[in-house]
Amino acid sequence: MTAPQRPRVPRRALDGVLLLDKPLGLSSNDALIRAKRLYLAKKAGHTGTLDPLATGLLPLCFGEATKFSQDLLEADKTYEATMRLGIRTTTGDAEGEAIDTRDVACDPAAVEAAMEKFIGDIVQIPPMYSALKRDGKPLYEYARAGQTVEREGRQVTIHALKMLACALPDVTFRVTCSKGTYVRTLAEDIGEALGCGAHLVALRRTGVGALTLENSVTLDALSDATESERDTWLQPVDALLSTFPLVTLDEDATRRFLHGQRLKLSELTIAADAVNAPRVRVYAADGRLLGVAKQGEGVLAPERLVVTAAS
| 171: Cα separation from own chain's centroid | 24
Question: Contact, 207 vs 175, CB < 8 A?
Answer: no
Q: What are the φ and ψ backbone dihedral angles of 302, each rounded to 5 degrees? A: -55, 135
Choosing from 51, 93, 189, 238, which is the catalytic residue?
51
Establish whether 51 is a catalytic residue: yes
Widest distance between CA atoms in the chain: 74
What amino acid is encoded at 96 in this protein? G
Q: CA 102, CA 291: separation in Å to the nearest integer? A: 54
Q: CA 186, CA 124: separation in Å to the nearest integer? A: 8
For residues 285, 287, 293 and 296, what is the CA-based torsion angle, rounded to 10 degrees? Answer: 40
Which of the residues are catalytic? 51
